[in-house]
Amino acid sequence: MQQRIKVVNEISDLVPVLRAVDSPLKLQLFQRLAESWLTLQDIETDFGKDGVKILGFFEKLKLVDSRWVSREGRKTPDKSFHSYYSTVNINTTAPLSEISEILSVASMADKDYTRLERQIIDCVGEQGRFFSDVAEELKMSPTRLKGLIKRSERLEFRGHRIERLNGSAD
């Protein structure tokens, strides 16, 4: 198996790394994915619907790799998943104020985060918007906005734009 290293050069990239294992279920699923390839059916059986949702979050963060595997007694192959990285290398320097902002975003209560995420979703609309326009309208620092988006399961960066992931509005 190939060993891959996740390199964190941008301070806001710490948010997804920290959020990937911020609950016992996420940690347990991530550990299982590091040990072996699991199909969607395996994940749903062992971790329930929440496990499937977490897998989607891992995919958004590009923390899992996938491949098609044939299983005995099945006519069609199943998509299986495995942890993409085996190591994290954190190589960044940032002002203490930015690190504090990133850590506050990563550890923010879900209720507070959901309120801010909703503001961003409403601001980007159906078509998405340029990052700097959203930061200005919401009066957020670029570091805070980047961290919030990287934490989101419903928003993503596409170039210099913020867009809803798969048209997510709810």
3-state secondary structure 57-126: HHHHCCCEEEEEECCCCCCCCEEEEEECCCEEEECCCCCHHHHHHHHHHHHCCHHHHHHHHHHHHHHHCC
Same domain for 71 and 101, yes or no, is no
Q: How far apart are CA 161 and CA 23, in angstroms?
A: 30
Choose one of 54, 74, 90: the last residue of a domain.
Answer: 90
pLDDT tens across the length of the chain (170 residues) = 567 888 888 999 889 888 888 899 999 999 999 999 999 999 999 999 999 999 998 988 888 999 998 877 778 888 999 998 888 888 889 999 999 999 999 999 999 999 999 999 999 999 999 999 999 999 999 999 999 999 998 999 888 999 998 755 55
Residue 25: CATH number of its domain: 1.10.10.10
Whether 100 and 115 map to the same domain: the answer is: yes
Phi, psi dihedrals of residue 80, rounded to the nearest 5°: -120, 160
| Domain co-membership, 100 together with 152 | yes
